[in-house]
Homo-oligomer: A and B are copies of this chain.
Amino acid sequence: MTNRLIYMPLGGAGEIGMNAYVYGYGPEDEERLILVDLGVTFPDMDTTPGVDLILPDMTWLKENRHRLEAIFITHAHEDHIGAVSHLWEELGAPVVHARAFTANILRQKMSEYAHDLRSVVTASAWPEQITAGPFKVGFLPISHSVPESAGLVIDCPDGRVVHSGDFKLDPNPVVGEPFDPEVWAEVAKPGVKALVCDSTNVFSDHPGRSESEIGAAIETLIAAQQGMVVATTFASNVARLKTLAEAGHRAGRSVVLLGRAMRRMVTAAIETGVMDGFPKVVSPEDARDIPRQNLMVLATGSQGERRAATAQLARGKFNGFELKEGDLFLFSSKTIPGNERGVIAIINQFSERGVDVVDDASGKYHVSGHANRPDLQRLHQIMAPQMVIPMHGEHRHLREHAKLAGQGGFTSVIAVNGTMLDLSGNAPSVAGYVETGRTYLDGSAKIGALDGIVRDRIRMALNGHVMVSLILDEDDDPLGEPWCELMGLPQQGSSNAPLADVLEEDLDQFVRRADAKTMADDDKLEEGLRRVARQTAQLEIGKKPEVTVVISRMG
């Protein structure tokens, strides 16, 4: 039997979020597997109300977990690491490899679920390689908006694949290793079969800017302030936190970290030795004795998250802090599409307090962590792979990235979640498709995206809910009239009587006229009551609510 090398995204290809990429090597359907990243994506009210987190559907990998050698995590962003603790047991409790900072963050998450921390193994950087079945995997440092991001060098008997991870080409990332083109070129020397490559910023035409470029602007801005300064960014962007903290420190301000995630990230970066020289931090309690013009507060919640520090400060007091006229709030961050409403609401709340807000409109106080179009071209050229496989992008990004690779003379293919590519030959070929999807973490339960549960919630939110109850005696005769309870519906409709009364009257008429066969048949009776309730509501209030019918038969 011949061996083959396969690549299959189970998340992250066709969306930005919940990355999960499978590689396999071996005889067909018996390939030994590794999983690269296992992240989450975040719910929204439009499509996933009430859901806490969205995980990739790992059904296929669960069924094949006896073939899974290990998990490799490229970096500590939630969309790469966030699902590990939720899915690790179902995947057979595999070993998880990550570099020190990432492993530190992962261990905290694993310990919250009392998982065995010995399964998280700290990896050294390239040129060390970790053996996982037929694979040898090396963590190749690359710059990104979180410390110790790494691409993966994945070797197998069929050749070398380079999985870029999330990256930018930053010669001076403030914290962590700069992009080193010589090391990457060295890796490419023996020949690269496939470059599996981040697509996030393929629509950004200018070369990416270095993290170090914004320091001066931030320092100038903060030095000019007379009141309290509060800044937000992603908690995991410790380079930015350092830049902000140093600017505050140089302006004679004491630095305060507001929000659990921010303290956790800074601590992890110091503990693992990836960051030093971070200015001394003052606790929120001690900050109360410091005049407001001497404070530099770093707060979580750059995306407008309702429970994070920024949103709470916008609504009023938080942890003893309250912003007012003359203070400055800085968004040193980009608003991710879909989060605009929440962020704008916060800016308006600050405006009502007289707080000046500086957002990312100018581009002076934020740079992206992803490679732009010319940077992607540069990496293609350095690695000179047989094929470029775009990942980490919505369909539009993958398609554009494949076009870009094609323009550079590289074979490329759009492989969305569930596409199994055979990389054994000189060009990728589609070996098949597996079912993929999303699993919702809902409270403590996991529910399938297609279970209809969330669909029912959306329907109740759009249409309101009528509960009809009817009690029948042993002869199928009604004991009293049908009873209606309404939720999320107007009290009164076009006939100016309470809606519940009008509904009950029409339902009662229906019951009185129903034939014996209907009254004896729960399904028929329920169907009839539902139909009448919806029709009457349509006449009264112009909309058809969801209807739940409870029929109780006595004796």
Contacts and interface: CB of A to CB of B under 8 A. Distances in A.
Interface in A5-30: 14
Contact of A444 (B451, B542, B548): B542
Contacts of A14: 348
Given A447-B490, A485-B550, A490-B453, A341 B338 contact: yes
Contacts of A361: 203
A348 B541 contact: no
A441 B476 CA distance: 41
A483 interface: yes
A462 B351 contact: no
A440 to B, nearest CB: 9
A471 B480 CA distance: 12
Interface in A383-421: 394-396, 399
Contacts of A395: 348, 351-352
Could you say how many copies of this chain the assembly holds?
2
Interface stretch (A44-52, A167-175, A181-189, A515-523): A44-52
Contacts of A462: 49-50, 457
A463 interface: yes
B399 A351 contact: yes
A235 to B, nearest CB: 23
Contacts of A83: none
What is the interface residue range for chain A against chain B? 35 or more
Interface in A452-479: 453-454, 456-458, 460-465, 467, 469, 471, 479
A491 B446 CA distance: 11
Contacts of A541: 442-445
B344 A394 contact: yes
A445 B502 CA distance: 15
A554 interface: yes
Contacts of A457: 460-462, 464, 487-488
Given A338-B344, A467-B548, A552-B552, 13 more contacts: A351-B394, A442-B541, A442-B543, A445-B492, A445-B494, A453-B488, A454-B488, A457-B464, A457-B488, A461-B461, A467-B467, A471-B471, A487-B546
